Structure formats: structure tokens, C-alpha cells
């Protein structure tokens, strides 16, 4: 059902298939995601999506290579993630690694995969994951800078000029805070209050009370991985704070909707469109394919697709396209080289990797969603 997307993203794939048919070895794909722990909501959809897509391949092969998926659980732990990546490289001898789920796990993996010379298609959105560029690490998620710009543009359109920023005290949250400080003035937005919390914190009432005391704040922006924003919104509901909340793409998941419940009503979320493909413009060429994948996923697994389904789709398209374009033996290095020259349009936008840009997004494709009646809806225009 995704034939149009696969055919349209890179016609050169078809030319490379025939060349790789004879004598092809197994293609081993390592997948490291959070299947348990604090960030488990980001992990489960990834292997499910990859298996769904692999099952649709003729004989479950890419360019003649039988595909083997090896999935490991990082347990939302960066130390564990590094250990498992080493295991995937040394014991399982994978050709490519997809994941991990978060920037906090992705950053310490960068030197490991580069030293071992194994291509890594990572979901980490923090700038240090792919900036500066390193040879073997490629990002699929938009930079956090793109999600922040999406939020600031919406605030500007709504005439909100003073905000409170609440961020987590980790790589993702700290990086986002720095970008907000740098870019907010360009949109005429003042960071009137800046609060933070530790990833293990279970109550944020104190931060919200300080925001209330500051006064004249038009909105609260939370930049952190889940579950922090879930706790923040529940505490805000208990305090009847009465301010609009803006959240980053880290909260664009159906699991977040379930976690936050009624406390999330009205919150704005900068998101990639796979979570609600019906909000995509009718003239977006990706819309039919995103709708198709969303339906396939729900039909097979009984739940709606979320943002990490899109990350998994784009990772699959990258591996499929790059492997099919290899002229000669499939090695870790030949696969890396093929990824670095790959261009396509997918769930997260249109992308063209280059030696000086391993994120490659020419356009992020982010949309602004709003939680209404416990569901994702297109945000109303200002």
C-alpha cells in the first residue's frame, strides 16, 4: 500500500535492485529503543512498524538480501544503551543500527558507532547528536530547533509575547532552553520565566506557583521528554492555572494522550503529521501514503500510529533505498556511503543527506496540533 511512496522517493532504488540479487548476504538491522523505563512510550511502535514494512517486502528481502531484525531494549537508560550498542556491533555483527529513542541515549552512542564504523540512523533530535557531523551517525527526527521555531511562530501569530519556559535538566531540555534563549527574541517573544526540573521529579507545583507569581505570562512552554510534561499538566490542572500550554514533538504520541488524560485538554503540540495525517494539506504528496500507513498500523495492532511510527518508516526507507543503491558488496562502509547520498520524502519531511549535513531535512513537515476531547486535532488558526 506504500508503493507510491517507495517508488516516488528514489527511482534509482529500482535500478540498484537487479545488481544486488546474486549472492547477497543477510542484511542485519539492529534496533535499539526504549521498550521499558521512563521513555518506553517512544519505543514500542518502532519494531512493530519495521516488522509491518518488512512483511510487505517481496520474500522479506531488500535488493536480494534477506532482512534480519535484532531488537534490544535500552530500558530508557543511557549506560545500558551504550552496552547494548556494543553488543549489537560485536556479537550480532549488525550492518546498521536504528535508534535509540531519545537524545539522552543517542549522544553517548555517537563515539561508539563512529569508532566501530557502523552506520546509525538515530531518533535523537538534539543538535549535538548530528552537529558537528560525524561519519556514521544520521538523524531522522527534525532538529529541536525546527520544533521550537514552529512553537514560536504560533505564539507570534497569536500575539503572545511573554512566556514561561519549563525544561528538563537533561541533554534534550538543556539544549532546547539554549535554543529558546537564542531564537525567541527574533519572534518578539520574551522568556519571562525559566524553570527546570530533574528527570526523576514527580511534582512540579513549585515551578508552576512561581510562574503564577510572575504574572503577565501569556503561555507556558514545556520542553522535555515524557513523563515530565504529563506531570506538569496534571499539576497545572490541579492549580487551575488557566494558561495555554505548548509542548514539543516529544509529546506527540498517543501514549502521551492516555497518560495526561483530561489535564491535557487544549494543549498545543508541535508534531509530525503521521500522528494525525488527515490534518496534512490536500496538496501534500505524502498525505495519501501517511493515511495508508496509519490505517495499516491501526488495523494490525489495534492502536493509532504515532510519531515514532513515522521515524521507523523513514529509517526503513533510508535503509531500503541505500542498500538498493549499493554498487558492489554490502558492507558497513558501503552502506554508510549510500546513506550519505540518499534523497527522499517521507513521514518527517523531504530529506537530502550530504557529507556536511547528516540530518538533511530540507523541510520538516511539522504541524501544530491541539488536544481536543482527548484526541489530536488541527490547531485552530489564530
Q: For residue 24, name the pLDDT band (cuts at 50, 70, 90).
A: low
All three cell numbers of 146: 525546527
* The pLDDT value given to residue 136: 98
Asked whether residue 66 is domain-assigned, the answer is: yes
Angle between helix axes 307-325 and 12-19 (nearest 10 degrees) is 50
Evaluate whether 328 touches 18 at the Cβ level (below 8 Å): no
Question: Which residues span the domain enclosing 33?
Answer: 3-142+284-362
Q: Are residues 150 and 130 part of one domain?
A: no
Query: 328 — phi, psi (to 5°)?
Result: 125, -160
Evaluate whether 361 touches 344 at the Cβ level (below 8 Å): no
| Helix (H) / strand (E) containing 157 | helix 144-157
The total domain count for the chain is 2
Which CATH number covers residue 100? 3.40.50.2300
Asked whether residue 381 is domain-assigned, the answer is: no
Kindly report, residue by residue over 157-174, the tens digit of the pLDDT: 999 999 999 999 988 899
**Which of 208, 240, 271 marks a domain boundary?**
271
Q: For residue 226, name the pLDDT band (cuts at 50, 70, 90).
A: confident
Please state the rounded mean pLDDT for residues 138-154.
92
Kindly report, residue by residue over 344-366, the tens digit of the pLDDT: 988 888 899 999 999 998 766 78
Q: Are residues 10 and 130 part of one domain?
A: yes
DSSP H stretches of helix in 98-143: 103-116, 127-130
Residues 6+ apart with CB under 8 A from 260: 229, 230, 233, 234, 267, 371
Asked whether residue 380 is domain-assigned, the answer is: no
Beta strands in 198-274 (DSSP E): 219-223, 245-247, 268-271
Kindly report, residue by residue over 179-213, the tens digit of the pLDDT: 999 999 999 999 999 999 998 899 999 999 999 99
What global pTM score does this model have?
A: 0.80
Q: For residue 306, name the pLDDT band (cuts at 50, 70, 90).
A: confident
Amino acid at each position: 500500500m506504500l508503493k507510491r511512496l517507495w517508488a516516488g522517493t528514489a527511482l534509482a532504488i529500482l535500478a540498484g535492485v537487479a545488481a544486488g540479487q546474486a549472492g547477497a548476504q543477510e542484511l542485519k538491522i539492529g534496533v535499539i529503543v526504549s521498550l521499558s523505563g521512563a521513555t518506553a512510550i517512544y519505543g514500542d511502535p518502532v519494531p512493530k512498524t519495521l516488522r509491518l514494512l518488512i512483511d510487505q517486502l517481496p520474500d522479506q528481502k531488500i535488493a536480494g538480501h534477506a532482512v534480519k531484525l535484532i531488537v534490544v531494549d535500552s530500558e530508557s537508560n543511557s549506560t545500558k544503551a551504550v552496552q547494548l550498542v556494543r553488543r549489537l556491533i560485536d556479537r550480532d555483527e549488525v550492518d546498521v543500527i536504528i535508534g535509540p529513542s531519545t537524545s539522552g541515549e543517542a549522544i553517548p552512542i555517537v563515539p561508539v558507532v563512529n569508532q566501530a564504523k557502523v552506520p546509525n540512523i538515530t531518533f535523537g533530535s538534539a543538535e549535538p547528536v548530528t552537529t558537528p557531523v560525524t561519519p556514521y551517525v544520521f538523524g531522522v527526527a527534525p532538529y529541536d530547533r525546527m520544533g521550537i521555531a514552529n512553537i514560536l511562530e504560533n505564539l507570534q501569530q497569536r500575539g503572545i509575547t511573554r512566556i514561561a519556559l519549563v525544561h528538563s535538566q537533561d541533554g534534550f531540555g538543556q539544549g532546547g532552553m539554549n535554543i529558546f534563549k537564542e531564537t525567541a527574541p527574533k519572534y518578539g517573544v520574551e522568556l519571562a520565566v525559566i524553570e527546570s526540573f530533574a528527570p526523576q521529579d514527580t511534582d512540579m507545583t513549585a515551578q508552576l506557583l512561581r510562574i503564577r507569581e510572575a504574572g503577565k505570562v501569556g503561555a507556558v512552554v514545556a520542553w522535555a521528554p515524557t513523563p515530565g510534561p504529563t506531570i506538569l499538566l496534571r499539576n497545572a490542572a490541579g492549580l487551575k492555572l488557566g494558561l495555554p500550554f505548548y509542548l514539543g514533538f516529544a509529546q506527540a504520541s498517543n501514549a502521551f494522550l492516555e497518560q495526561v488524560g483530561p489535564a491535557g485538554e487544549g494543549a498545543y503540540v508541535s508534531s509530525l503529521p503521521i500522528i494525525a495525517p488527515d490534518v496534512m494539506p490536500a496538496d501534500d504528496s505524502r498525505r495519501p501514503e501517511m493515511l495508508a500507513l496509519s490505517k495499516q498500523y491501526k488495523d494490525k495492532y489495534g492502536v493509532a500510529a504515532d510519531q515514532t511510527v513515522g521515524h521507523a518508516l523513514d529509517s526503513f526507507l533510508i535503509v531500503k533505498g541505500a542498500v538498493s543503491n549499493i554498487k558492489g558488496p554490502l558492507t558497513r562502509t558501503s552502506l554508510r556511503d549510500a546513506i550519505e547520498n540518499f534523497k527522499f520524502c517521507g513521514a518527517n519531511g523531504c530529506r537530502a543527506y550530504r557529507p556536511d549535513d547528516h540530518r538533511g531535512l530540507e523541510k520538516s513537515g511539522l504541524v501544530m496540533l491541539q488536544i481536543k476531547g482527548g484526541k489530536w486535532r488541527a490547531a485552530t488558526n489564530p
